[in-house]
Structure 1
Amino acid sequence: MDVHPLKALLQLQLGSDSYAVLHLPYILSALTAQSLLPSEHSTKWTARVNSLLQSKSPDARWAGLCLAHKTSVLSKSTMIECAQSWIGVALPVLSVREFIAMSAPTSSFPTKKKEPLPIMSASVRLLRVIFSAATDVPEFQRQVSTPNVSKFTAALIPLAEKHADTELQTLVLSTLALIIPLYPTLHRSLHSALSALSLGFLNGNPFKPPNLLLTRTASRLYAVLHFTGGKVERVPQPPPATEEPLISIPLNVDRLRCSVLVLCDLLKTTTHRPVQVPLGPLTKFALVLLSCKSDQKVDRHIDPTVRAMETAVTPQIWKMACDLITCLATCVAHHLSSSLARIVTCIAFQLEQRLTSSERSSFLDTLHVILEKCHPLHSTVIVNRLARAIVPLISVVLAKEPDARESDGDEVFNISRDVVCPTVDEGNALLSAFAVVRLVLQNPNLSPAMQSILCRIVLSVQLVLPQMSSASLSADPKLHPLLLQQVQNLSVELGAGSTCGMSRSLGLIVGASLGDSDLHRDLEVLLHPRLPPLVRSMPYIESLSLFRAEESQEESEMRRSLGLVPSSTPDVMIPEPSASPTAPRITNATPPRTIQSPSVTPAAEMPAAVLPPPLPRSTPEISTRDDRNIETVAVPVAPLPTRTVNPTPTVEIDMPAFVEEEEKNEEMPAIDLGSDSDSDL
């Protein structure tokens, strides 16, 4: 016969107060909603919890509060039944921090003592559950919640103001932010006190590092005060008492951070009536923060120390601007489209500068949100400038291949090899860059040349990643599969852009769908390419140049300006200009500096039967450097095909691509000029 869980706990772990404290972690983990269903042991359980709550020992009272909280979470019926008695124990702990002991005056115990911090925290958690878990029971609300909620809030306000423990303050502020929307009318008289409480934590502090969790909790509390019916507006703060830069600069930066937090929380909060959002001033404020530059020239004299401090806080201002713009794009969506061009221009300018990986990741994440939430950009200039700024970020994968002189597996023992993404921030920036590329390729205003460049780079990464070890990409083993899946999905999307491309990308689509949960979707698009209708223009297979000879002048110049120009090329067979055309000589001819970025079709448009072979180990590298201090990009290049019949220059393939079967060389038939039809006239 199985023993009831409550019976076993009551007999063993709860046999005494000391046992209850000692075995409390096990008891809390063993309790389940099934064990607290009504039974013959339920009454004994609640009686044991009440006895712990009335114990003279602080640790036993703490154990009783924890058990009451766990019981309230798992059993709503038990909580409703015992709520009145539990409130009578927990609420006085918060209302009167020093209480008279229940011992006799002649006892050795002191007549007054402070409640320990764990008991205060456990009391707040218990009352929080009691007042928020039974809002759907009108009778409980009328008899229990309504008379005690205002007392609970009035006790929490001084507790948060006077107590020095930040964890307790954070718990109190989060509890108030939860309770106020549930009982708005009961807090109408406390609106001024609650506003002063929240603003007290949002006023900045230049003397110690900000507690981000405490500040965010205070901001969420301030954002729900409008439920009480009072006006919620930011009270103008007085200027700092001193103009000392060591105090004023950290103080103003902290206040600015708090202001951005409050604005974001106010935009995210729910309202029961329409509210006008001052989108123009908010956008202007975000653009001012986003356009901040550390090397901005000023006419007046500036102390070098002050300038160094201002330069140090510039990345923090950029992060605040990104957070505000992300929140605006998420909350107002397409209403931000009127300011989208200015925002994207500022972000593109920042991406063109020398940034750290964390700064670049913030800009890219913001860019991804606004491009996804807002209408497409209508400016061709801005779209192409943004694409040019992202090309060096996604081509960095092609620059970090293992050394061609190493044999298989040697790169594992090469501790001096370069890693593409040494830090987590660089890995996140790379993932965000490819996410932005996907949205940029969907823009109809992207120029064909830039569209071709992006598609070919995506294909090159698609070909290089499976042959690259996870350790050579990043120290985080999760980055390689995530990036490979993202690039593969993007290649499939490019291949599904036209019927011609889909017919040639069957192998890639099926291969990508084997490990993807969207198999049915991809096969449906493959079987019914006209459903759903395409809402974007995608490049056809014929529009992508496979060889440098097929490039347009515009595309060649654009790639040269992006810094993807080969630093050296292999020797080329050039016929000697002599009377004997069959006597070629090998010269170290230097061809014109043309771009060497991925000059192939998207992987999604590749035939299944001619997938590219593994890259050869003797792969030359193409070293490119942008004029804007962009890192060197080494692009793997497939070996040059050779012809043995005619001494004509060989055709160079720019990136690893599938090699089509060469046609047989046939002599050109002689043209009989006498057979011209015009000769008979």
Structure 2
Amino acid sequence: MDGHPLKSLLQLQLGSDSYAVTHLPHILNALTAESLLPSAHSSKWIARVNSLLHSKAPDAKWAGLCLAHRTSVLSKFTMIECAQSWLGIALPILSKNEAPPILSASVRLLRVIFSSATDVPEFQRQVATPNILKFTAALIPLAEKHADNDLKILILSTLAVVIPLYPTIHRTSHAALSTLCFSFLNGHPFKPPNIPLSAAASRLYRVLHFTGGKVGAANLWKKSVDDTLVFGWNAFLSIRPGYRIEGQVPQLPVSTEEPLISIPLNADRLRCSVLVLCDLLKATTHRPVEVPLGRLTKFAIALLSCTPDDKVDSHIDPGVRAMQTAVIPQLWKLACDLISCLTSCVGQHLSSSLSRIVTSIVFHLEQNLTGSQRLPFLNTLQVVLEKCHPLHATHIVNRLGRAIVPFLSIVLTKEPESRESEGDAPGRSKKSRKRAREFEGDEVFKIGREVVCPSAVDGEVLLSAFAVLRIVLRNPNLSSAMQSLSCRVVLSVLLALPQISPESLSPDLKLHPLLLERVQAVSVELGAGSTGNMGSSLGLVVGANLKDCHMHRDLEVLLHPRLPPLLRSMPAVEALSLFRSEESQEEVELRKTLGLGSAADGDVVMDELPPPPPAAAAETSKLPSQVLQEKPTIVTPSVTPAIAPPSQPLRPLIPEMVTVPDQPRIEAVAPTKPVAQPPVAVEMPVFVEEEEVNEEMPGIDLDSDSDSDS
């Protein structure tokens, strides 16, 4: 019995036109390239498809177009054999008032016919070349007049495919194609932007320069960039009349439209212009072209530098001013998209403008923005810092580090309110405040905790911030204080993450392993300053490199320790100040500025207090036992000794950062055997409450010892 797939399909699913429509999904899935190889059933299959194409029933004709398209995709030989007859059926359909499914099936079939046999010269000469202009001439009015957006997107995408294949043939159609693109890229004041449709139109406009041939394509591309820049400047100036604009801009006529229409219309036009510029930068040309880097950078920085405080004209309606302010975040995002695309295109050639770009981005990151507003800035920073030369300005690098570190500390557990703040509440007596201090630490038993990253955007901000910090730490111009503080924050996050459940971190459970992997990668890079340090953290290296693309590089450093040292000023692990007693004054001020650490734990803290009064200074002559009995609040002096006093255990700089509910406190371990040092006399101010001084200390009965033999 002959079990050929085409035979069963022809006998069962294609037995009638109604069966063909009903079982079309099964037929399309059952067809394979092997089943369409030349056989005794091939002619019967072609005849059945042709009968469906000539059917007067719309549903049967649609089924025939779909089967012809699938056959053309799977069998190039069958397509070449039947292309002439199928063109005669599908091409006239585009000029008729047919249903959108039939039109879409016809466009797909014709696109395969014109694009899949470009390597067959005879087919191109006899079939493709005489009919391609007819196909384009039928698609342009269909895209302009038809109301179905999916059909328009299909037509624009099809034209973007066939025009580079037949560039010189479409030279006379360049003006009509440009007008078609502008009809979808001119903005709309009332409807929300149709992003897929405008993206398809932009991709079509990106390939129109091919119609100029190998010689004229470069000039057409440059003209397209210039025209799009003028269009973008015009839209930008129409959005922000009465505002200062960064850099010199062309003097363009002011729009006479109503602001309620002009602002949303030009905002959409500006979006389209940036989209087209990005696509033009990604386009290919037959010959090298000159990119107008200066004008593109000036335009991007003008968008990036917009703030609500740049207004110079105070005679604008408050409603219009509110609309202009509301569109500013959109301008920032467009600037970030353009800068990212421009950096990916020109690479290190943008290094001359890197300082201005990073300064503008850092200024915005220092403001109180939402997560969706911060994310484009962080993504753009990651691109420009990777593609361009390292920043050479020390103040910009340190400012960037200070702006990034607070985004990372949200992972760490926040310290509860200090007991002093609770005791000093108005209306409470001294006894009640003293009694409240006896229950210090009851916040550990609180079960509830807010989610660190409640939305997906917050998680992306956190991942992007770690990626940017990783690049910043490679910069040799980063100050030692900023470098040390950043490393300690990364270490705190590395210790805290395993104790945080994925549900507490984000509703998206995939964020926890991604974040842990990124933090481990940063930590491994920090510990790779020398082979000895890398060998000491072998467990971290192995754990972090299970999925990291830099695994081979790290293993090479471990296996071949005679490799040359890394060319960066990364301090050794033992040089990092992991304890508060080791902090420099610059680092203390930097930590306080960033809001990291707290003085509420009652241990060795770095808070500065005013000079003690003479009466309190006289108390410093008491014995250590008397000082301990009076329960003083210990404050680290301005000059920290080399070794802390034995009675005061060393604690990490940010212990409260690594505290989580229902988990023990993680602290850095101090050396068990410190090197002997001569005693250092340190004057410690003591503050004793009046009620505690008058209170009699209870006696100790030495005879009550349970281990006594008496």
TM (norm. structure 1) is 0.83
User: What amino acid sits opposite 1:653 in the alignment?
Assistant: P
Question: Which residue is 1:460 aligned to?
Answer: 492
Closer/same/farther in 2, CA of residues 209 and 126 from structure 1, 3 Å limit: same
- Counterpart residue type for residue 78 of structure 2: T
Q: What's the CA shift string for 1:506-557, capped at 9, x where partnerless?
A: 2211233345565444322212244375233322113201211211122122
Query: d(CA) in 2 for partners of 1:32 and 1:405?
Result: 69
| SS at 2:543 equivalent | helix
Question: What's the secondary structure of 1:568's corresponding residue?
Answer: coil
2:13 touches 2:27 (CA, 8 Å); kept in 1?
A: yes
Deviations 1:644-681 (A, max 9, x none): xx873332322444414512898979xxxxxxxxxxxx
Q: Give the one of 189, 192, 205 matched to 1:222.
A: 205
- How much has 1:143 moved relative to structure 2? 1.4
Contact 1:28 1:67 (C-alpha < 8 Å) held by counterparts: yes
The answer as to whether partners of 2:652 and 2:668 remain within 8 angstroms in 1 is no
Q: Is the 8 A contact 2:159 2:204 kept in 1?
A: yes
Tell me the secondary structure at the aligned position of residue 85 of structure 2.
Answer: helix
| Distance (Å, rounded) in 1 between the aligned partners of 2:362 and 2:57 | 64
Whole-angstrom distance in 1 between the partners of 2:564 and 2:70: 51
The change in CA–CA distance for 1:535 and 1:80 in structure 2 (over 3 A counts) is farther
* 8 Å Cα contact 1:290/1:318 also seen in 2: yes
Aligned position for 1:587: 631
Deviation per residue, 1:347-381 (Å, 9 max, x gap): 00010011111110111001101111111111111
State which drifts further: 164-173 or 288-297. 288-297
1:649 aligns with 2:659: no
Q: Which residue does the alignment assign to 1:9?
A: 9
* Residue 307 (structure 1) shift: 1.3
Q: Which moved more, 1:207-216 or 1:278-287?
A: 207-216
Cα offsets for 1:293-328 (capped at 9, x unmatched)? 134343322211111111111111111101100110
Q: Secondary structure at the match of 2:38?
A: coil
Equivalent in the alignment of 2:531:
499
1:564 maps to 2:596: yes
Aligned to 2:687: none
TM-score, with normalisation over the residues of structure 2?
0.79
Q: Shift of the alpha carbon at 1:80?
A: 1.4
Corresponding residue of 2:170? 187
> Is 1:662 the equivalent of 2:672?
yes
Q: 5+ unaligned residues in a row in structure 1: which ranges?
A: 98-113, 595-640, 670-681
Where does residue 126 of structure 1 map in the other structure? 109
Deviation at 1:568, TM superposition (A): 1.0
1:304 aligns to what? Answer: 318
Paired-residue identity, % = 67
1:422 & 1:304 partners in 2: Cα distance? Answer: 34
1:45 is matched with: 45
Corresponding position: 1:144 with 2:127: yes
How far residue 42 of structure 1 moved from its aligned partner, in angstroms, is: 2.0
Q: Indicate the residue corresponding to 2:156 in structure 1.
A: 173
Runs of 4+ in structure 1 over 6 Å off: 235-241, 400-408, 572-576, 664-669
| CA-CA distance at 1:405 after TM superposition | 6.3
Aligned: 1:427 with 2:437: no
Match 1:160 to one of 124, 129, 143: 143
Aligned to 1:360: 374
Q: How many residue pairs were aligned?
A: 598
Structure 1 residues 476 and 590: CA distance shift in structure 2, 3 A: same
Taking the aligned partners of 1:4 and 1:539, their CA distance within structure 2 comes to 72
Q: Name the amino acid aligned to 1:42.
A: S
Distance 1:271 1:254 in 2: 28
The equivalent of 1:80 in structure 2 is 80
The AA in structure 2 aligned to 1:279 is L
1:207 Cα offset (Å): 2.4
Structure 2: how far apart are the matches of 1:667 and 1:458?
A: 32
Partner of 1:445: 477
| Greater helix fraction, Structure 1 or Structure 2 | 2
Deviations 1:115-160 (A, max 9, x none): 1111111100111111111112222111111111111011111111
**Alpha-carbon contact 2:604-2:636 (below 8 Å) kept:** no
Name the SS for the 1:496 alignment partner: helix
- Say if 1:360 and 1:370 are closer, same or farther in 2 by CA, change over 3 A: same
Q: Please say if residues 334 and 374 of structure 1, whose CA atoms lie closer than 8 Å, have aligned partners that are also in contact.
A: yes
Structure 2 match to 1:604: none
Matched, 1:272 2:286: yes
Moved more, 162-171 or 577-586: 577-586
Give the superposition deviation at 1:580: 3.9
2:352 is the alignment partner of 1:338: yes
Query: What are the Cα deviations for residues 266-310 of structure 1, in whole angstroms up to 9, with x where unaligned?
Result: 111000111111111110100000011134343322211111111
Structure 1 CA distance, aligned partners of 2:50 and 2:479?
Answer: 74
TM-superposition CA deviations, 1:607-632 (whole Å, max 9, x none): xxxxxxxxxxxxxxxxxxxxxxxxxx
